[in-house]
Structure 1
């Protein structure tokens, strides 16, 4: 299914869906960041997706990261809350989703790089490399928020 992102676009379709979601900035011991190239829009992104009934948002981030990258992670903090009503995703099936996502900080505990049916590529990047990657601005904002610090610890 294809997806188109709209941010601050007066021609964007009206949202008809609001789905809780989680993503993760996964950082390894070498300081590299885990990213996936999305199949639906061809952009680099953090692992993440919609929360399922019966799971918490941190559990969602852990599950989505494993499904999309092959890595089991431990949540270590929160990068931020992202709920901009001027940012919507329009899917081929007619859903137009308003963003509502919590982005967590995580570290890998086990696994190996694995491409999923949602991605075409999964890689570790040095933080200096990510500025040149094609990605939607909301993902870039999360990465910049992480790089700028001030992330509260989860205990």
Structure 2
């Protein structure tokens, strides 16, 4: 069997009141909470995936501001290894209420509300990425280079 990692993006978006944009979604039959996140599509630039996934899952247009890190996680539910390119972004405007299949709603939640979700978080990376962001972890966007096609 060939090992095939899954490349994904996740986006930490904080509003002016210190709340974070999360999505309530159905995953493996369970209702869980996650950052706007998803797989990078073939031939898609990573920053384009950041913008697309956030728009599709929350209805918000965003502009990426920083790279937070590359996080690796092996999901116990399916044994898949995910490589999560996590970014911070600024919300520009809400442009639609139409959300991806499987997304129940987008929510603005405080850190305390998010921490209180416990095992309802899709993975431990949800809280870890927010904590890294709050602790000042920031890298310039150009630290990740998409090769020109």
TM category (shorter chain) comes to 0.7 to 0.9
Which residue matches 1:82?
71
Deviations 1:88-144 (A, max 9, x none): 3655xxxx5211110000011111573431211211112232110221212221122
Deviations 1:40-64 (A, max 9, x none): 1311100010011221111111100
- 1:70 and 2:59 matched: yes
- 1:50 and 2:34 matched: no
Shift of residue 34, structure 1, vs aligned partner? 0.3
- 1:137 and 2:120 matched: no
- 1:107 and 2:94 matched: no
Change (3 A) 1:89 1:108: farther
Shift of residue 83, structure 1, vs aligned partner? 2.0
In structure 2, distance between residues paired with 1:15 and 1:31: 43
Over 4 Å off, 4+ runs: none
Q: What count of residue pairs does the alignment treat as equivalent?
A: 136
- 1:124 and 2:108 matched: yes
TM-score, scaled relative to structure 1: 0.77
Bigger mean CA deviation after superposition, 125-134 or 42-51: 125-134
- Unaligned segments of structure 2, at least 5 residues: 143-149
2:8 pairs, out of 21, 28, 35, with 21
RMSD: 2.3
- Unaligned segments of structure 1, at least 5 residues: 1-13
Aligned residues of 1:79 and 1:103 also touching (Cα < 8 A): yes
Which residue matches 2:81?
98
